[in-house]
Amino acid sequence: MKTPLVAILRGITAKEVDIHIPILIDAGFDAIEIPLNSPDWATSIAIAVKNYGEKTLIGAGTVLDVISVDKLAKLGCRLIVTPNTNSDVIKQAIKYGMEILPGCATATEAFIAIAAGASKIKLFPSSVFGPDYIRALKSVLPPQIQVFAVGGVTPDNLAEYMQAGCVGAGLGSDLYRAGQSAEITKSKALAFIASYQNAKKN
């Protein structure tokens, strides 16, 4: 990812995919996640892959089992994001050549994910642990492992997480809430991109 920010579109409908994803791509996002607890997620992901798969990394979130990974591979999904640490899901995603971003909360879970083949981990929920926890976790992880902050990340605090050692973040309700207008998506997307770019400079 050139811009390692994952737009989490929880609750998006199939009719809204062509409204919001182009805005996010134009703003600078190159990773989109549609969680599997969204309505008719399979249709939404299929549309996203067909219309935007060559422009951005289209992925699925809240992936809990291997069967879901198999279904997503058939849809052309290229990114798997999980809320938990499941070695079987990680290995299956890697088998398909997908990017995998497994959710971890502790050093134990992080090392389980790494042992299964993950090169990136998602610290969730980041707002509960905070930047100091991330610094402590980073101190024991292999240096090549990339950490993404997910949960409670805003344009105002993104820089704090990056200064703590995160390469980027997954952005949920502070970027997109189900049913919001295209104008709100654009405003929030640009705010996050600007925050990321400013953090990279400092």
pLDDT above 80: residue 59:
yes
Report the 10 Å Cβ neighbour count for 7: 27
> Is 29 in contact with 8 (CB distance < 8 Å)?
no
Structure tokens at 61: 């979130």
**Would residue 200 show up in a list of annotated catalytic residues for this protein?**
no
Question: Which listed residue (16, 33, 99, 120) is catalytic?
Answer: 33
Q: Give the per-residue pLDDT at 166.
A: 97
Q: Give the per-residue pLDDT at 164.
A: 97
**Would residue 122 show up in a list of annotated catalytic residues for this protein?**
yes
Q: Give the per-residue pLDDT at 201.
A: 84
Mean pLDDT (the chain, rounded): 97
> Is 146 in contact with 4 (CB distance < 8 Å)?
yes
pLDDT in tens, 80-95: 999 999 999 999 999 9
| 202 pLDDT tier (thresholds 50, 70, 90) | confident
> Is 122 in contact with 115 (CB distance < 8 Å)?
no
Helix axes 17-27, 182-201, angle to 10 degrees: 20
Question: Which listed residue (16, 99, 122, 188) is catalytic?
Answer: 122
As a whole number, mean pLDDT of residues 104-126 equals 97
pLDDT in tens, 126-174: 999 999 999 999 999 999 999 999 999 999 999 999 999 999 999 999 9
Q: Write the CB contacts of 26 (distance below 8 Å, at least 6 apart in sequence).
A: none
For the chain, the 3-state helix, strand and coil shares in percent, each to the nearest 5, are: 45, 15, 35
Helix axes 66-75, 87-95, angle to 10 degrees: 20
User: Is the pTM of the predicted complex or chain greater than 0.75?
Assistant: yes
- Which domains are seen in the chain, by residue range? 5-201 (3.20.20.70)
